[in-house]
Structure 1
Amino acid sequence: MADSLQPYRGLFVLDASQGIAGPYCASLLAACGATVVKIEPPAGDWSRGLSTREGTQSVMHVSFNRGKRSVMLDLQEETGRAAMRKLAARADVMLEAFRPGVAKRLGIVPEAGKPDVVFLSISGFGQQGPNAERPATDGVVQAYSGMVSLNIGADGIPHRTGQIMAVDMTTGLSAMIAVQAALAGQAQDRAAGTPPQRRVLDVSLMQSAAALMAFNVAEAGLLGGVPPIANTPSGTYQGSDGRWFMIAMLREPEFHQFCGIIGRPDLAEDPRFAGFAARHEHREALLPAIRAAIATAPAAEWVRRCQAGRMLCDLVNTPLDWLADPHAQAVGAAVPLDQPGLGTLPFPRLPGLGSWSVPAPGLGEHTEEVLREIGL
C-alpha cells in the first residue's frame, strides 16, 4: 500500500540546490510523485566528486538525487539565466541553497516562480542575522549548536556525530516537512475558494540542529547549566572478542538487573551508585568496574543474556552487518537500485513510502530534452 503513495504527482519542482540538505528534500518530493528538475552548473553538483565514484557519478550524489532530471546550465551566462527564468515560471516548488544574496544575483527568487510558488531557501544560519553570510557545513553547525558538546566519547573528548550527516539530513527532512505544510496550506486555500498565496520558507542547518536537540536545549536553559547524563551507565561496552554492544537503561531496576547479569550485584548495593544522578557523579569509579566484568565474555554473549532479560541491548553493527541481518532481510529493509555508472546499490526503504527505487541522473542527462519542452 505504501508503494502507491504519490500525492505530488503533477507537481513541478525546480531544484537549484547542491550537496545534501536541499537535494534530499527534492528527492523525497520525487519519491512522492513530483517531477523534479535539478539545475547543475557545468562542473556538476559538488556531491558528484565525493565518496565512491565513477566518472561524474558518486554514491553520495545518487543518495540525494534519485528520481530527478538533470539540466546543466551556466548561470553566469545570460543564456543559462534565460533558461532558468523559463523553468522557474513553471515551478510549483523552488529550492535553492546558496549563501544569502547569491540566489538573488542569479535571479533565483520567489518572484521568478508562479504566483503561488512555494519557495524554499536552505542555508547554514538562515537568511537574516549576523551569521547569515557565513558558510557552514554539518560539522561546523554541530559544533556551533552545542551538539558536539553532548557527544563526549570514552576518551573524554567532544566529537562530531560520526560520519552520518546528521544535521544535513535533518535539515532535508525539516525542509520536506515545511514544503508539505506549505502545500497543505495552499490546498486549504483552494478548498475555501481563496487564491493560494506564495509561500517563502527559510530553513537553516543551525535551526534544524537545534530542533534535533530540543530536549537538551530546553533542559539546559531551564537549569542554567549542563544537566548530568540521565541514564548512566548506558552506553557501549567491549566484549572479550573485541566487538562492542550497546545497552540502554531507562528505569532504576534495570541497573540492578544489569549488575546481576554481569556478575557484579555488589555494584547495585554500593551507596555511591544509588540512582542515576549518583552514578553519573561517581562514574569514574563505576564504569571501569563494569568494563572489567564485561571483558570476560564475548559481546554476543552479553547481548544474549541481556535480551533474555528483556533489556534494551544489541550488538554494534556495521552497515554490512545490518544488511545481512535476518530481520532486515525478512522485512526487505533495503531495496536494490541499479544505478548506471556505479552498479547495484542497496538503499534503505524510505520510511512509510515503500520500495521506491529510481536512479539518479547523469550530469546534464536531460538538458536538451527539458529545454526542448520549454521551447528553447
Structure 2
Amino acid sequence: METTRPADTEEVTRMSPKALDGVRILDLSRILAAPFATQQLADLGADVIKIEQPGRGDDAREYGPPFLGDRADTGMAAFFLSCNRNKRSVTLDFTTARGQEIMHDLLEHCDVVVENFRPGVLDKYGLGWEGVHNRFPHVVMCSITGFGQDGPYRARPGYDGIFQAVSGMMSVSGIPDGQPGASPMKSGLSLVDLLTGLYATSAILAGLRHRDRTGEGQHLDVSLLDCGIASMSHYVENYLVSGTVPERRGNGGFGGIPSQAFTCSDDRMIFLVASSNAQFSRACGALGQPELAQDPRFDSIAARIGHRTELLEILEEIFRTKPAAHWLTELEAVDVPVGPVNDIAEALSDPHVRSRDLQMTMQHAQEGPIPGLRYPIKMSRTPVTEYTAPPLLGADQDAVLGGLLGYDAEKIAALAADGVI
C-alpha cells in the first residue's frame, strides 16, 4: 500500500506476502473491541505496536482464569490471548513529557492510531485528534468509545453488556413473553465489542484508502452504542417500516417460518430453516407429513408467518418423536437447511470445521505452543499464514525504540530507570 509517512530503515521479511505490508499501527487500546480490530489488521500484515501501561499493561491480561500456563503471573489470560496476537508490546507512560516525546517519535513512523480512552483524555497530553492531526496530518486516528465523541452520554463509561441493553439488542433476545422464564437476555458473546471491532477495521481500511489518494488522514469516531444499533439491521428496519416493536422469539427467527430450534426425542436440539415454499414442501415430506405443505394455513410464506404459532406447535410434536440424528439425516437428504445445536467442543470437532483448518498454533517463547483460531478468511494472493503469540508485557521495547526509532541502549536504560517505559 502506498504511504506518505516518512521512510525508515527497519526491514521486515516474511515468507509470504501480506495485504497490509508497509502499514504501521500505534495501538493504544485495551480490553476487547479495539484490540480485536487491531489484531485483524495485524493478521493482514500491519505492524501493530501495542502501547501498554508500565508495570501493568492491558487490563485484559488479568481477565482470567484461565491463564496461559495456569498462572496468573504470566499476564496471559486467555481473554488477552484471543485479541492480541501478531502484535509488538512497548510499555510507555505517555502522561509524562518524555513519554509524549516518544509518542511523537513513534507517530512519525505510523499510519494509524487506534485508541479507546474516554473523549478528551488524550487531549490532555497533546495526543488527541487535533494534536495528532496538526503535527502528523498523514495519520488516520480511530477513536473507539462507548457513546461516541459527542452527545449527552459521551463521558459515560460502558461495557458490552451495557450496550446490548441500551441498544435494544437484549430486547429481541430471550424467551418470549407469556412463557416460563420470559425476559430479555444478553448474548453470551461480547457481541457489541466484536461487531464494533469489525466495523472499526473496515473504517480504518477506508481511511487508509482515502489517505493514500489524498495524503490526508482523518478521525474515525466509532461508538459501541452506534455499532450495536446498526448491527440490529433488519430488526430496526422492520420497526421503521411498520412502527411495531419486534417481540422476542426465543430460538426462532424473524424471517420465514419455520426458522427455529426444535428439541428432539433425545433432548438434543437442531435448527431448521425451511422458509421457502419448496424447502417447506421437502421438509414436510422428510417429516412424514407431506399434507402439511398443502394445508391452506401453511401453503405460502405469508400464510405460514400468519399461522406461525399453530405450525410451530405441530412441528414441535413431530420432532419430539425421534432423535436428532434421525431428523438431521432425513432433512439433509432432501436438501433442507438444518444443523445440530452444538456446544463449542462439538463445533470444533465437527468434521467440516476440522477440514477448514480453523485452529492453529502459535509458539510462545516461555510457554511453548498456544492454541488459537486463525484469521477466518482464505485469501488467494495474500494469505494469512503467520501467527506470533501475543507478546509479554514490554517484550519489544528494544526492537521498537532501538530498531525503529534509533534510540541507543543508554537512552533506553535511562528511560526505564525513570519509569517512562
**Same fold by TM-score greater than 0.5:** yes
Instruction: Encode CA deviations 1:320-369: one digit per residue, 9 max, x unaligned.
Output: 22322222222323222234537431313431344332211011212244
- Determine the structure 2 residue equivalent to 1:125: 147
Instruction: Encode CA deviations 1:130-164: one digit per residue, 9 max, x unaligned.
Output: 121122222221222222222233654322222x2
Moved more, 122-131 or 42-51: 42-51
Q: CA RMSD in A?
A: 2.5
Instruction: Encode CA deviations 1:156-194: one digit per residue, 9 max, x unaligned.
Output: 4322222x22221111111111111111112223xxxxx
TM-score by length of 1: 0.88
- Determine the structure 1 residue equivalent to 2:385: 355
* Equivalence map 1:76-225=2 (5 Å): 76-110=95-129, 111-112=131-132, 114-153=136-175, 155-162=181-188, 164-189=189-214, 196-225=215-244
Question: What secondary structure, in the 3-state scheme, does the structure 1 residue paired with 2:339 have?
Answer: strand
Q: CA deviation at 1:280?
A: 4.6
- Determine the structure 1 residue equivalent to 2:320: 295
Change in Cα spacing, 1:354 to 1:319, as seen in structure 2 (3 Å) is farther
- Determine the structure 2 residue equivalent to 1:193: none
Equivalent-residue separation in structure 2 for 1:11 and 1:119 (angstroms): 14
- Determine the structure 2 residue equivalent to 1:50: 63
What are the ranges of 5 or more consecutive residues in structure 2 without an aligned counterpart?
Answer: 1-14, 248-253, 412-421
Q: CA deviation at 1:246?
A: 0.9
1:8 to 20, 34, 57: 20
Question: What secondary structure, in the 3-state scheme, does the structure 1 residue paired with 2:42 have?
Answer: helix
Identity %: 33
Equivalent-residue separation in structure 1 for 2:360 and 2:192 (angstroms): 25
Change in Cα spacing, 1:23 to 1:342, as seen in structure 2 (3 Å) is farther
AA of the residue aligned to 1:117: V
Q: CA deviation at 1:269?
A: 5.0
Question: What secondary structure, in the 3-state scheme, does the structure 2 residue paired with 1:64 have?
Answer: coil
TM-score by length of 2: 0.79
- Determine the structure 2 residue equivalent to 1:28: 40
Q: CA deviation at 1:259?
A: 3.2
User: Number of matched residues?
Assistant: 367
Equivalent-residue separation in structure 2 for 1:131 and 1:237 (angstroms): 41
Question: Does structure 2 retain, via aligned residues, the 8 Å contact 1:120–1:179?
Answer: yes
Equivalent-residue separation in structure 2 for 1:96 and 1:264 (angstroms): 57
Change in Cα spacing, 1:32 to 1:253, as seen in structure 2 (3 Å) is closer
- Determine the structure 2 residue equivalent to 1:192: none
1:366 to 384, 396, 400: 396
Question: What secondary structure, in the 3-state scheme, does the structure 2 residue paired with 1:314 have?
Answer: strand
- Determine the structure 1 residue equivalent to 2:7: none
Question: What secondary structure, in the 3-state scheme, does the structure 2 residue paired with 1:242 have?
Answer: coil
Question: Quick check: 1:237 aligned with 2:262?
Answer: yes
Instruction: Encode CA deviations 1:265-324: one digit per residue, 9 max, x unaligned.
Output: 555455544545554554444433322221221112111111111000011122222322
Q: CA deviation at 1:217?
A: 1.5
